[in-house]
Amino acid sequence: MPLISVVQQLAFARDLAQIQQIVRSAARELTGADGATFVLREADECYYADEDAISPLWKGMRFPLETCISGWAMLHRTAAVVPDIYADARIPVQAYRPTFVKSLVMVPIRSLDPIGAIGNYWASPHEATEEEIRVLQALADATALALENVRVYGELEQRVRERTRELEAARAAAQQALELAERANRAKSRFLATASHDLRQPLQSLSLLNGSLRRMVRDPNAAEALAQQELAIGAASRLVNTLLDISKLESGAIRPEITDFAIAELLEELRQEFAGVAQAKGLQFTVEPCAGRLRSDPALLGQILRNLLSNAIKYTRQGSVTLRCAARQGGLGLQVLDTGIGISADHLPHIFDEFYQVGVPQNRSREGFGLGLSIVERLVKLLDLKLEVSSEPGRGSTFTLALPLSGAAAQAAPAPAAAPDAGRQQSRTYGRRILLVEDDEGVREATQLLLESVGCQVLAAASPAEALEQTDAHGAPDLLISDYHLDCAQTGLDVISALRERFGQPLRVILVSGDTSPAIKGLVPDRHMRLAAKPVETEQLLQLMSELAATD
């Protein structure tokens, strides 16, 4: 067996057993010996770890370093050549008498600090030649490297195992943290959905009762009191909605739905929504035409612009509020400009803080709550947009929102919708049979009172089963108004499905809910259905009823 082949084998050995197997065979074959032994140093002892011989020697035994020839080779860091074991004082003859050994050579493994020895034995007198010693020492040196490699490899394996355990522990901890976070998010979503519903229920009752009373009273003082009550209900509704919006944004419950859409449609909605508010304050309100298409979430973008416009109108005592778009490099800039009180440089860094209002003392009655711009900032970050603010006290402010274009062709703005006619609304709904399904008694009674005050016949029910009983007794309704969440895990969709199946016709429906969960957000109404978010204002409910009454 060539020495180079043995060295290569040792280079690829990965444990002590492999090294011992290679060395014991190679040592005997390379020198033509009758036996070979592999000895390891263990503190002050020699451990005869392995052997390859014509008959047993000392495999598995341990001896003090000073009493055996392998110990002498290690202590003196040089080869021990013994042509005749019975003529060498270094040999414990009694230990050798039972064996075949007559001559031997022992070389240390690693010269500077020996960690073992390799020995060759002959059954007849033999003096190891310089070539045999050289070859055996070369084998010992290669063995030293192999043992070091095994040590390093073992340490690396240990480190890998430890690192793997650490990574597995970290991954398990991360998975647990993720599960806890997902559980917390689900809990937050359930809480927000429940809070949205439960907080809006009493506001819904108050709003409907107020609407009913305004149609009944004739006394001017009572009418004024009801008007002030309506303002208070509206303020409470806005505060609840705003706080819930902030909670949803903080919890990650709101996810953008990015799409391409015509900006003209959104601008027209805003024009219709704010024209009356601005006019009532004596302000000129202008929405400049824009034919581009944007890529963003139209609902969330609309909420940003509504908050900016509401703020602009609130803080502008005279002059104008303008919504316009201007071309920017790589996109479009939507600007809300006003001629209001303006914002000083020391106030600008704080305008996006919660409950912060410019020019409103703490002890004064407030129009709002200082939360609109806080929501704007969160939505801008959520949509990954950029909002710039410039202002001058006494001259007004400009908020510029940078948006990406979709690259699609421009669309013309739709024609303005005609304002609803209150008389025509009431004539369309008067005398209609309305099936009202609402499990909250207060909301149900308030809604029934309102509907009856405008001339409707009302069939009230608290559950899908009661709704079917009412239709069994009175026939198909002209219109169904149902809450989404009902008792016993039932929903307004169950009522709609059951009634449409029973009467085999596209029943007209207003589905009402204070829930803002994805289950509600994802509902797609048909042409005979309208969705309304609690608290529903009286005029809004009547307008939806009128629209459905006009459908064929």
Q: Which CATH number goes with the domain that contains 429?
A: 3.40.50.2300
Question: In this predicted structure, what is the pLDDT of residue 407?
Answer: 57
Euclidean distance between CA atoms 220 and 534, whole angstroms = 29
Of 317, 322, 303, 285, give the one whose Cα is nearest residue 383: 303
Question: In this predicted structure, what is the pLDDT of residue 350?
Answer: 59
Q: Is residue 225 part of a domain?
A: no
Lowest-confidence segment of 154-163, 187-196, 462-471 by average pLDDT: 187-196
Question: In this predicted structure, what is the pLDDT of residue 207?
Answer: 79
**388/451 same-domain check:** no
Question: In this predicted structure, what is the pLDDT of residue 366?
Answer: 44
pLDDT at 52 over 90: yes
pLDDT class of 415 with cuts at 50, 70, 90: very low
Q: Is residue 188 part of a domain?
A: no
**278/384 same-domain check:** yes
> CB count, 10 Å around CB of 507?
23
Q: What does the CA dihedral 215, 217, 220, 221 come to, rounded to 10 degrees? A: -120
Number of domains the chain contains: 3
**519/442 same-domain check:** yes
**What's the CATH number where 129 sits?**
3.30.450.40
Question: In this predicted structure, what is the pLDDT of residue 98?
Answer: 92
pLDDT class of 369 with cuts at 50, 70, 90: very low
Q: Which residue range is the domain that position 270 belongs to?
A: 257-404
Question: In this predicted structure, what is the pLDDT of residue 358?
Answer: 52
pLDDT at 518 over 60: no
Euclidean distance between CA atoms 123 and 33, whole angstroms = 8
Strands (E), 381-462: 386-392, 396-404, 433-437, 457-461
Question: In this predicted structure, what is the pLDDT of residue 262?
Answer: 85
Percentage of residues of the chain with pLDDT beyond 70: 82
**399/426 same-domain check:** no
pLDDT class of 11 with cuts at 50, 70, 90: confident
pLDDT tens for 114-165 read: 999 999 999 999 999 999 999 999 999 999 999 989 888 888 889 999 999 9
Sign of the alpha-carbon torsion through 444, 447, 452, 456: negative
Q: Which of 155, 180, 199 is the last residue of a domain?
A: 155
Question: In this predicted structure, what is the pLDDT of residue 127?
Answer: 94
Cis bond before residue 535 (omega within 30° of 0): yes
Euclidean distance between CA atoms 238 and 378, whole angstroms = 18
pTM of the model: 0.44
The pLDDT of 315-319, averaged and rounded, is 90
Question: In this predicted structure, what is the pLDDT of residue 169?
Answer: 92
The pLDDT of 243-257, averaged and rounded, is 66
pLDDT at 357 over 70: no
Of 358, 355, 321, 356, give the one whose Cα is nearest residue 339: 321
Q: Which of 120, 155, 190 is the last residue of a domain?
A: 155
**394/441 same-domain check:** no
The pLDDT of 50-79, averaged and rounded, is 94
Euclidean distance between CA atoms 136 and 150, whole angstroms = 21
pLDDT at 414 over 80: no
pLDDT at 363 over 50: no
Q: Which of 137, 155, 173 is the last residue of a domain?
A: 155
- Tallying the residues shown for the chain, one arrives at 552
pLDDT tens for 12-44 read: 888 899 999 999 899 989 999 999 999 999 999
**26/97 same-domain check:** yes
pLDDT at 226 over 90: no
Q: Is residue 279 part of a domain?
A: yes
**510/373 same-domain check:** no
Q: Is residue 240 part of a domain?
A: no
Q: Is residue 183 part of a domain?
A: no
**What backbone phi and psi angles, to 5 degrees, belong to 546?**
-65, -40
pLDDT at 63 over 70: yes
Sign of the alpha-carbon torsion through 403, 406, 407, 410: negative
Q: How far is CA 257 from CA 253, 294, 297, 397, 525, in A?
A: 13, 13, 5, 30, 18
**443/541 same-domain check:** yes
Q: Label residue 535 left, alpha or beta by phi (over 0 means left) and psi (-120 to 50 means alpha).
A: beta
Residue with the larger pLDDT of the pair 228 and 28: 28
**457/395 same-domain check:** no
Question: In this predicted structure, what is the pLDDT of residue 337?
Answer: 92
Question: In this predicted structure, what is the pLDDT of residue 295?
Answer: 84
H or E stretch at 133: helix 130-216
Q: Is residue 200 part of a domain?
A: no
**36/80 same-domain check:** yes
Rounded (5°) CA angle 89-90-96: 95
Q: Is residue 301 part of a domain?
A: yes
Lowest-confidence segment of 111-125, 278-292, 459-473, 531-545 by average pLDDT: 531-545
pLDDT class of 417 with cuts at 50, 70, 90: very low
**What's the CATH number where 353 sits?**
3.30.565.10
Euclidean distance between CA atoms 428 and 508, whole angstroms = 14
- In terms of DSSP bridges, do strands 62-64 and 80-82 run parallel, antiparallel, or are they unpaired? unpaired
pLDDT class of 505 with cuts at 50, 70, 90: confident
H or E stretch at 512: strand 509-513
**273/390 same-domain check:** yes
Helix ranges, 252-387 (H): 263-280, 298-314, 372-382
Of 246, 300, 247, 291, give the one whose Cα is nearest residue 265: 291
Give a three-class secondary structure readout of 39-68.
EEEECCEEEEEEEEECCCCCCCCEEEHHHC
pLDDT at 204 over 90: no
Q: Is residue 462 part of a domain?
A: yes
pLDDT tens for 433-452 read: 899 999 888 888 888 888 88
pLDDT at 199 over 80: no
**534/473 same-domain check:** yes
Give 260's strand partners: 295
> First CA to last CA across the chain, in angstroms?
101
